[in-house]
Structure 1
């Protein structure tokens, strides 16, 4: 769980939209009270700083159950981040968290990526 399955820039939208997919569980398994399901983070020195999360208008989460031949529950979470104008250049990543009854809490990280001034 939490393993990144895809990472790409959506060329079909008018704005720059990053799309990351993770192997996941249904978000209702862990309501994340007082926390977030996912964050967009920017590198600041040795640390990562949250700049957007599931409460921001620039982000979306889509959960999908996938067909499974062995009758297990296989699903993905697709996280989209529409990069807002004025976003500072730098190194970024997306972090996804999950868990639930009978499942240990987990955290997955996307591939790190750089935003340059000319891309924004």
Structure 2
């Protein structure tokens, strides 16, 4: 009989504490995200990789992946680009990366790959590259 009030107090405490714990976690993730961006800008790739791995559940994680891949797009493989495009196809980041990748392929005259990655668009230059 005496356990019911105790259980109620514990549950109420947990319910009230949850938003504060979540806010603290998000603040920590924000700080790590900014640190990861700075590490990437400094080419501290080991530090970046460690932070990026810890942020896999953070809503802005795709932006880190995009930034890292964009930074080394000239050395990226078609497989890496395809994986990003497939994983993040519903985001504006996919369009940004696809456009940069198509520009690279056109510059290097890699037309078969260009055709493979092309998606119909209103951009006349890209349509010409496809034809």
TM-score where L is the length of structure 2: 0.19
Q: Who wins on radius of gyration, i.e. which is larger?
A: 2
TM-score, with normalisation over the residues of structure 1? Answer: 0.20
Instruction: Considering fraction of residues, name the structure with more strand.
Output: 1
